[in-house]
Structures are given as C-alpha cells and as structure tokens.
Amino acid sequence: MSLPELPAIDLTEIVASLQDGILLITLRNSRKTNSFTEKMSHDLIRVFQWGDADDRVRVILLTADPKERAFCAGADMEEVIKGSVLLGRKEDSEDEHRDPGGQVALSIYNNRKVTIVAVNGHAWGSGFTSLQLPFDFRFIWAGAEITLPFLRLGILPESTSTYLLSRLVGQSRATSILLSNAKMRPDSPNLSSLYQDILPNKEDVLPAALSFAKTIAATSAPVSITYTKGLLHHPGMTIEENHLLDSRAIKRRGASKDGEEGLKAFMQRRSPNFPDTVSGETSWYPWWKSRDVNQPKTKL
C-alpha cells in the first residue's frame, strides 16, 4: 500500500516538507509560543511515523521559527486546567492513561531514521523532555533558557524523561537536573554533554543542524543506521549477548547490497549510492519483542 504524500496529512500545529532526503518539521503554534498541546502531540506522532515509513526520508529534523521567543513553552496550561489528556482525563483509569509527551518521545526514539532537533529558542517543560531527549542529535542556541517546572506544579517530569536523561548524562546529573527546579543554560556542566553543538546565535542553529543532516543523508546507509540505533537502544543483557547481536548484524550488512556498494565506492573513491531500503529490512529487524503500549490492556 502506497504512503500518503505530506500534503495529505492534516497537520495544524506543525508544518513539514521533504527535500533531498531530509524531512524538516517546524513547530508553528505561535499564538501560544509553541506550547505543547494534545493536537501538537498527534501531529508530531503522525509525521514521525510517516518519516519512519517512507524510504525517501534519510533524516528527520525538528525546529521552530527563530523569530519566536520560545522553541517550545511547555504544555499548554489552559488546556491542562480544562482537563486535557496531557495529565490524564478524569475518565481515564491509571492503567489506561498514556502520556502524550511519552507517545511523542517513543515515536522519535524508536524511529529508524536519524533524528535531529534544532532548538532555536527557550525550552520549558515538554520543550526539553519530549522535544529534545529522544533525538539522536541536539543542536541548541547558547542563550536558550531551559526550565523544568514539574515539581513546582505538583506533577512530575513526563515524556519518559527519567529514563532517557539518566541514559544520556548519567544518574547523578539527571538527578540534579530533574530535582533541583533550576533554570539552566545549555552550557551548564550537567547539560552541555547533551548537545552536538551549542551555537551563539538563534539564527545559526537551524543552518548548522541542516548542514549536519545533509552530510548524514548523503553519506550513510539507511539500513546500517537502523541497525546501529537498534543495537544502541536494545543491547544484550551481557557483553556476550551483545557480541552475538553485533556478529549477526555485521554478517548481514557485510553480505548486503549496501555492503558491496560501500566497498566499491571506497575503492573507486566516489560517493556511495546505497540500494537497500529500511522498509525492505524485515527478516531479522527488530530482534527484540516490543510491548504494544497503545493497547489499554497493556499493564506493568
């Protein structure tokens, strides 16, 4: 079954375009400083799923209009107060509720393509948790203010951030970031290792991220990216298990058309043209069993 084209996807709080293998997504809820809403969560999930499935997409890049004060101002508090799904509707049971920020984070973290975020404004709450932590690469404006207001509001950090942040910066730094209620800058000792690059001007962030994305799109084998992300996110329980996974992945990639093309391109000193597609890689990947969190009956 053919995929719908981007214009056929009904997006209202983001805009998206595809060019040269790069799916560029821009937050556009400017009336509320790009606040994170239930509709924005649906839009983001749909477009990341689309990018995952379409073989033309090599890299997915998220950003916001640099003219806006905030990259994302966190959850839409008016929506929260009215009883939106962001904190769980009253009719939801504890087992049935699914955090929308977490659903967005899963669609990004589990994406088979390279994901990059260009944070060109202040990032509060969800603008840090769901819209930064699950990405493969993060570029940010040096002047961005990062604020996590969760504990002051009597709630808690969402979007699987307790899991992701401790994996990214270590348990001690994650604890300091999530429990201190501090306002931080990207060059904070606890935060700086998160970022691929910290740019001095807001206007520099997207061009830097885009240049990086173009290099990856032009030079990296998509299926090899998929395997590498899978090994990073779903390693074996021991080094021996990892060795078995590595060995099988290396054998499969080495015997692939991509592997043949990569070696030829290297010997001929030319750019590779990798023929294998992510959608065609189904015989072994994924090698792990995923839990269907969208099913209401799925419980801990």
Do residues 66 and 52 make contact, with C-beta atoms less than 8 angstroms apart? no
Compare 76 and 196 and report the one with higher pLDDT: 196
Write out the two tokens for 224. Answer: 């090899």
pLDDT above 60 for 1: no
pLDDT per residue as tens digits for the range 121-171: 999 999 999 999 999 999 999 999 999 988 877 888 888 999 999 999 999
Q: Write the CB contacts of 135 (distance below 8 Å, at least 6 apart in sequence).
A: 62, 108, 115, 116, 117
Whole-number pLDDT of residue 298:
63
Do residues 77 and 17 make contact, with C-beta atoms less than 8 angstroms apart? no
pTM of structure: 0.92
Mean pLDDT check: name the lowest of 79-88, 192-201, 279-288.
Answer: 79-88
Coil, strand or helix at 107: helix
Which CATH code fits 6-218?
3.90.226.10
pLDDT category, 199, cuts 50, 70, 90? very high
Mean of the per-residue pLDDT values of the chain: 89
Compare 288 and 87 and report the one with higher pLDDT: 288
Average pLDDT for 75-96: 70
pLDDT above 70 for 109: yes
Mean pLDDT check: name the lowest of 1-15, 141-155, 211-225.
Answer: 1-15
Can you tell me the distance from the alpha carbon of 141 to that of 207, in angstroms, rounded to the nearest whole number? 12
Can you tell me the distance from the alpha carbon of 122 to that of 120, in angstroms, rounded to the nearest whole number? 7
Do residues 65 and 30 make contact, with C-beta atoms less than 8 angstroms apart? yes
Where along the chain do its domains lie? 6-218, 220-300
pLDDT category, 89, cuts 50, 70, 90? low
pLDDT above 80 for 7: no
pLDDT above 60 for 225: yes
Do residues 123 and 177 make contact, with C-beta atoms less than 8 angstroms apart? no
pLDDT above 90 for 95: no
Whole-number pLDDT of residue 83:
65
Domain 220-300, CATH homologous superfamily name and number: Lyase 2-enoyl-coa Hydratase, Chain  A, domain 2 (1.10.12.10)
Buried b (16+ CB within 10 A) or exposed e, 160-190: bbbebbbebbeeebbebbbeeeeebebeeeb
Measured in degrees and rounded to the nearest 5, phi and psi for residue 12 equal -115, -30
Whole-number pLDDT of residue 299:
64
CA 41 to chain centroid:
13
pLDDT above 70 for 86: no
Residue with tokens 């299926």: 223
Average pLDDT for 224-231: 95
Q: Write the CB contacts of 122 (distance below 8 Å, at least 6 apart in sequence).
A: 69, 70, 71, 73, 144, 145, 146, 147
